[in-house]
Amino acid sequence: MSFNRKNTSNKNISNTNNKSVRNINNSVSDIDNKSSGIKNIDKKTINKNNSNNKINENRKPNDLINETSPYLLQHAYNPVNWHPWNEKSFSLAKKENKPIFLSIGYSTCHWCHVMEKESFEDEEVAKILNENFISIKVDREEMPSVDSMYMESAIIFTGNGGWPLTVLIDNDKKPFFAGTYYPKISLIRILNDISNTWKNDPNKVKNIANDIINDLKNLNRSDRFDNKSIVNNRDKDESVLDYSIIERTFEDLKSRFDNRFGGFGYAPKFPSVQNILFLNRYYFQTESLEAKDMVEKTLDSMFNGGIFDHIAGGFSRYSVDYKWLVPHFEKMMYDNGILAIAYLEAGLLFNKKYLKIAKKILDYCFREMLGEHGFYTAQDADSEGEEGKYYLFTINDIRKVLGSSDSEKFCKLFDITRDGNFKKKNIPNLIKTFYNNKKEYYTIFGSGNYNIHDQNIHDHDINNHDINDQNINGYNKVNPNINENNIQNHDADENFEFNSFIEDSTKKLYNFRLKRTPPFKDKKNLAFVNGLMIATLSMGANILNKREYIEKAEEIGEFIINKLIKDGRLYTSYKDGKIRNKGVLDDYAYVIWGFIELFQVTLNKKWLNNAQNLMDSMIDLFFDDGVLYLSGSDVNDLPIRTKNVYDGAIPSGNNISVFNLMRLYSITNNDYYKDVFEEIIYSLKTDIEKNPLAFITLISGLIYDKSGGLHINLALDLDNKNINKNNNKDVNNIINKDININKNINKISINIAKEKLSFWNPFLTISLLDKDSENFNENMISVCENMTCKPYKKIDDFLYDDIDSKIIKLTNKNVEN
């Protein structure tokens, strides 16, 4: 969703809309524009970097100086007398009878930097704010519930949202004006108008604030979602939603699909990875070639474009154009974590090329974004006051680093020219090579007879003479040479790299780029980001055979348990030894997801137990009236509690939670989890049916529900009672993925089980039982498919043939080596 660029004064603030706004979510983009930003400032270098002549290097800091948020610290030396969000600040507003100027953003937000440079570093603006307002800064990543409520108010006012988020509120925290970015001249006019209205017509402000709060209450009222008559009167044997919604969702995706360059919608274009994950599962169940083509075209086009950093790996947040060429250069960890999952899945369903891309994403995450405790939050778009400067190359840069021969080859491959493709410089990309020189492209980046996509590509930047190809829209044939044992158990020495020229060239250019002033990194550890990365690394460890991924996933899991959970309560953020703010629904949802995945790959019950404990706490704190709130019942710092039920840039906590509940029900057979997820779905039934794409992650869970899933019951010797020590085999010889587990669990039994189950399935769940409690003399396994469980058999006798799941058939049929 793009910004509203209109200059709005308080003449418009009474024009509110009492209708429910369906498309409200807090995942909208900041302004899609190409103006320059400013240099980022962190706590250590804040005075050093403030060379702007409007800034006095000897200026005393404001109240933000004691915060840990990098975003708040960036504003600690503004002439604006900023305050943090706390009761002291609101008490001051009441004491001085001033309105509150609330500014919400995050540290890597380009247009937040622009507004800071234009307005918050400006003495004229600061004077108006300091004399007439109490100014409060909020880091949206530390306080997502605050951001959510006021984002909804901005959308009510303007129809759009984004960051920086600019809100005027009274001292009861009720908004009476909201917008996004405003240039200095507009901001001054707004501030003067609102200050005069506050002083001369306070009832007008009060009435508007009450109207907006009523609108927000209507958007989030319980009876809007709580269809109790449906819930209470439904047939318990019927599905929670009609399965026809799955096909409707697929048809809606098709209608929004860009047949030329993949993705959904046009510019600006976001990855919207939940759409890809849905299509993977839809294909898994239906073998739809249309779904396969949509996934491949999107993943190919994103990788080929400049949104992917071909030098260091990792994806930028979104593309400002429809071809994925020019990115908004900031990199978010949540984007890269979930994109890695999409490429991992596609690598097993369709083509091993995608596994190489997934590895490049994770290499970037480890190399650039991993801190002492976990993964950082984001990397800025700006450096040295210019958006994208760090990432751009001239043709002379390439020649200097690679020499004449290799530079000529690299420039031709990655479309590096004298004129450039962005600000007279170059964003390395493979778009032209993909369409105009397929033979070379597939030699370097492809795997086997890779699918070539839609021939109806027309773009003035692409020479179309070579776009047509006899293999266009051709699909893979069954490969009879794939052995069952090689379906997913990749050889330990497989490195998932491209050819030596690409690896050597990009490494040299990366080292060259490191000499530049790097973009700022937000080094706080967010719970939801690290929960997502635990899930990603757990999947990656199994698929890419990387033991270090599991080791890191378990380290991060320990960090969350020991540092981000206090008195049983999960917190949102950790930095400099301090935790900040009680966790919201998304924090719980993503950490629980991570722990479930970690349990499934380690078979260590510690992670399952923690997932259940957090789920039980989540239900107590967030589940009420049939729906999940964003903030917990123990947090009362806002006039209302919002419900972020829609998927945005990434899946919502609500929809991830539904899928978590489904999986925990399958693993534990606890009917309470089933009752909760069914009530949530039924409460949202009307909204889901009207706008299924907003709930696409939840509907992916419905595909799981329809399939019945693939469930494995393992009955193992868990405490070493029946092991003949003299006959133990070396564990490392038993399984090529010896993963750390608790000492009180029998490694032999666990690792044999993991060796037998080292395959991927989007709907797989595993239950771990003590064989003695089941009265078995040996380690046993039972496979449950289509809601029917086969008799237990010895694990040593277990074969892939015992599983009817399509994963074996589809992998044999479609994955190209």
- Which residues, 6+ apart, have CB-to-CB distance to 442 below 8 Å? 450
Facing residues of 136 across strands?
A: 83, 102
Contacts 24+ apart (CB under 8 A), 253-257: 253/278, 253/279, 253/294, 253/693, 253/696, 254/290, 254/294, 256/693, 257/294
pTM: 0.85
Assigned token pair, 137: 């800064």
Question: What is d(CA 378, CA 365) in angstroms, rounded to the nearest whole number?
Answer: 10
**Count of CB atoms situated within 10 Å of the CB of 7:** 14
Of 465, 461, 616, 591, nearest to 528 (Cα)? Answer: 591
Helix (H, G, I), strand (E, B) or coil at 360: helix
Helix (H, G, I), strand (E, B) or coil at 370: strand
pLDDT in tens, 16-51: 333 333 232 332 233 222 222 223 333 333 333 333
Placement of tokens 């108008």 in the chain: 193
Report cis status (omega within 30 of 0) of the bond before 791: no
Q: Which residues of the chain have pLDDT under 50?
A: 1-56, 224-226, 229-230, 448-493, 721-747, 812-817
Predicted local distance difference test score (pLDDT) of residue 545 = 86
DSSP string spanning 798-811? --GGG---HHHHHH
Least Cα distance to 293 among 436, 452, 432 occurs for: 452
**pLDDT for the residue numbered 237:** 59
Q: Compute the residue count for the chain.
A: 817
